[in-house]
Amino acid sequence: MCKKSVCLIALLCFCLNLLCSRGEENYTVEIKDDVRHVHNYAPQWGDEPKVALEFVQQIGQEESKYENYMFYGPSDIAMDADGNIYVVDAGNYRVQKFDPNGTYLATFGKKGQGPGEFEYNPMRINIDTSGNMYILAGNYIQIFDPGGKEIRRTKFDFTFNEFRLSSSSQLIISYEIRAIRTFDGKIKFTSEPKTSLVGQYNIDGSLVREFGKFHDFNNIYVTGPANTNFIEVDSHDDIYMSFYYQNRIEKYSPEGKLLWSSERPLNFELKYNLEESKSEMPDGEIRISFLPRFTIVSSNIGVDYKGRIWVLTYMKNVREDRKSEEKFEIFDNDGVFLGRIPQPEKRGGEWQIIDDRLFFVGAESMFIYEYKIVEK
């Protein structure tokens, strides 16, 4: 009886080890300082992705007798609880509201300095659970109620390009980070403090916390721009970060604790070169600056309705091969690489995922393209 039990236990252990090895044959996990570091070697889905993008609609027209369907430099979109779509029409200093079928409903904002107006081009938008619109214009966050009345305006003493909204309406801000040389010859970062990548703020502009660790490249002209990042916040207020020039994807708790870091296989070597530029000042002084010429890895990050993480990744070194090729790489919520899918034919420069929808905005067109994420 004892021998049978030992054999049974041994068989169970063998099966368990077999299952684990199969589950992790494409990745390994390393624990450092209570943080999971996922090293991906190949996609779990292999060459057959389990999702696809299904075209839904185009919003906007190149030529139309209806001015509200013509965009000038659209830069961002958002969706409210009823599925209405909000387009930041940056060049026209306004936000356009459409119903789920793309029918125009309303316009918010115009160029100006008064209440409900934008002194600077609006660039980013987030919507809270009450339907209030949080719009980034210059270094201001302007809040409009669902009817389009401006109810608050908060000025920040630094510039930033990206922000997200938590369920408690706190602002998660990705700092704009560049290294510069000041007139007195000292070197500093354009965002302070220079030790964090992301700041969490109350709507009155007061700081709650900062988090996100710089990767130090031992060169101040490299370290700043090489840590350029993109952020997303899910329905649980977990925060995700990807990097423009680094093979790094991270997940943080709502309190800013790093939960895991993930890397995936790339088809090229990462290079961080600096190009020296000289310019002569009116007084004859020669100023020297250094322009980053880094290998681009990925742009933006999104989280879909199943908690999967999407990152648009470059398949080639675009600094050496001018023919850019990008694919969506999809990860599970633990940072395990699932698979890749190509970009659809109709697309723009910016993209964003909301629930089971993926939107492309602007850059290559003046349109908004909406796709549905479908399971295969």
DSSP string over 173-186: EEEP--EEE-TTS-
pLDDT of residue 208: 96
Of 166, 157, 159, 82, which Cα lies nearest the Cα of 123?
159
Q: Computed over its alpha carbons, how large is the radius of gyration of the chain?
A: 23
Tokens, residue 206: 């007061």
| Helix residue spans in the chain (DSSP H) | 2-23, 220-226
Of 40, 27, 25, 30, which Cα lies nearest the Cα of 264?
40
**Burial of 16 from C-beta contacts in 10 A (0-12 / 13-18 / 19+):** exposed
Domain regions of the chain by residue span: 42-375
Query: Residue 278 forms beta bridges with which residues?
Result: 288
What sign has the CA pseudo-torsion 302, 306, 308, 311? negative
Q: Report whether 68 contacts 89 (CB < 8 A).
A: no
| Structure confidence by residue, pLDDT tens digits, 69-88 | 999 999 999 999 999 999 99
Of 150, 156, 151, which Cα lies nearest the Cα of 174?
156
Instruction: Lay out the sheet containing 309-314: strands in order across.
Output: 298-303, 309-314, 326-331, 337-342
Tokens, residue 303: 């989280």
Helix (H, G, I), strand (E, B) or coil at 376: coil
Q: What is the distance between the alpha carbons of residues 27 and 266, in angstroms, rounded to a whole number?
A: 14
Q: What is the distance between the alpha carbons of residues 287 and 306, in angstroms, rounded to a whole number?
A: 52
Q: What is the distance between the alpha carbons of residues 252 and 242, in angstroms, rounded to a whole number?
A: 12
pLDDT of residue 204: 96
- Class of the CATH domain delimited by 42-375: mainly beta
In our burial notation (b when 16+ CB lie closer than 10 A, e otherwise), range 26-47 reads: bbeeeeeeeebebbbeebbbee
Of 130, 128, 123, which Cα lies nearest the Cα of 171?
128
| Phi and psi torsions of 38, nearest 5° | -100, 120
Low-confidence ranges of the chain (pLDDT < 70): 1-24, 177-194, 321-322, 363-365
